[in-house]
Structure 1
Amino acid sequence: MSAKIILVAGSSRVDSQSAKVAHYLAARLRRREVTCEVLDLGHEPLPLWPVAEPVTTWPGIAERLRQAEALVVLSPEWNGMACPALKNFFLYAGRAELAHKPALLVGVSSGGGGAYPLSELRAFSYKNCRICFIPEQLIVRQVEAVMNDEQTAEADDLRIRQRADWALDVLLHYTDALRDMPRRIDWSEPQFGNGM
């Protein structure tokens, strides 16, 4: 299955654990001969929405998103919530960039959590952009201890790596099934431009 996938590392921190996981998943996708890139919001921050001046970085990011066939959206857990940089990203990204494209949600937690941000994103972020979060998700807990050196991977690390591979396979099947969906939808009726 050939595909182009963008991995959005949602942390505003430079060199975050979310970015580490995004790069690990990107490497796993490249082994499947998938074209992918990481959009690290720590290295490519977007100004807080709304903005008075044009955002010079957004047109390039928007074009990269339009070219993608699927996404992996990684959300760190900050105080039990999705982080502000990722929420801000979904204010910028609309249906022109994301509509009817499958996306795998990945929670990243330094502890044993990670589920609440994914529930939050499923509940609010799809309405106007029409992104299609697939039913499968991945939660990387105790993130500092996993997805580091493959040579020293212990049982919990090996288990999350296997689960990650399986979740990426599921995403690739959705990508194949929904490949032409964004082009099939008629957006010419302006009254249906936003979600309900």
Structure 2
Amino acid sequence: MSVVKIGVVIGSIRENSQSDRIGKYINLLLSNMNVNIQVEYFSLRDLDIPLWNEEKWESGSDLKKFWKPISDRLKSCTGFVVISPEWAGMSPPHLKNFLLMCDSGELAHKPAQLIGISSGMGGAYPVAELRMSGYKNNFLWWMPDHMILRQVESLFVSTPPSDLDTRLTARLNYGLEFLVETAKAMQPVREKVQNLKLYKNGM
């Protein structure tokens, strides 16, 4: 059986962020699902990606050279988990910048599980924002189901796990299994149909 590589994208740049903690939990869940799943971890805090500008389109530019190894890692993935905290009711600018940088097919027509994070009872606005505009020219394919982890500091920290932890873990595993199977199914479709040279930008 071929290996499925899932990229886990952490949208927060805060030190010791809850998004990163949840990302590591997702990593563990994926690793426990199947020996043929590999995880590629993309922490925007660690990557420290510059703001997008037109220099990225210039051959040999510093920005293009900086992005190349990140782009290659993303292209090697067949699906993604994108974790977005809510900052002032919005998706963080660093995550939107990351999605802007992915204009060379890195994410194109690959499924992505979207997970919203909130320290309170919010988390819905970043999900709506990313679903509305976060896919346009990178063609990332959001899975129809998403999750919002509210009051996140209290989740997945108890031993034994709380009833809520158990229910949420089961729901996460359900979504991740859908993601992995969709990633497998979409790979031959991309190889047969995808034409990013002719159709580079969404409408």
TM-score by length of structure 2 reads: 0.88
SS across alignment from 1:136: coil
In structure 2, the partner of 1:94 is 103
Query: Cα deviations across residues 126-177 of structure 1 (Å, max 9, x unaligned)?
Result: 111111111011111111111235x242122222112111111111121122
Q: Which runs of 4+ in 1 moved over 3 A?
A: none
Q: Deviations over 1:71-127 (max 9, x none)?
A: 001100111111111000011012420111011101011111111101100110111
Match of 2:167 in 1: 159
Q: How has the CA–CA distance of structure 1 residues 188 and 84 changed in structure 2, closer, same or farther, with 3 Å as cutoff?
A: closer
Are 1:4 and 2:12 an aligned pair? no
What is the aligned-residue identity percentage?
38
**What's 1:106 paired with?**
115
Q: How many residues were matched structurally?
A: 194
What are structure 2's unaligned runs of at least 5 residues? 56-60
Question: How far did residue 51 of structure 1 move?
Answer: 6.5
Distance 1:186 1:141, change over 3 A: closer
2:186 counterpart of 1:178: yes
Amino acid at match of 1:183: E
Matched, 1:36 2:39: yes
Partner of residue 62, structure 1 = 71
CA RMSD of aligned residues (A): 1.8
Match of 2:85 among 56, 73, 76: 76
Partner SS state of residue 139, structure 2: coil
Alpha-carbon distance in structure 1 between the residues aligned to 2:26 and 2:49: 23
> Hey, what's the Cα distance between the residues in 2 that align with 1:96 and 1:188?
7
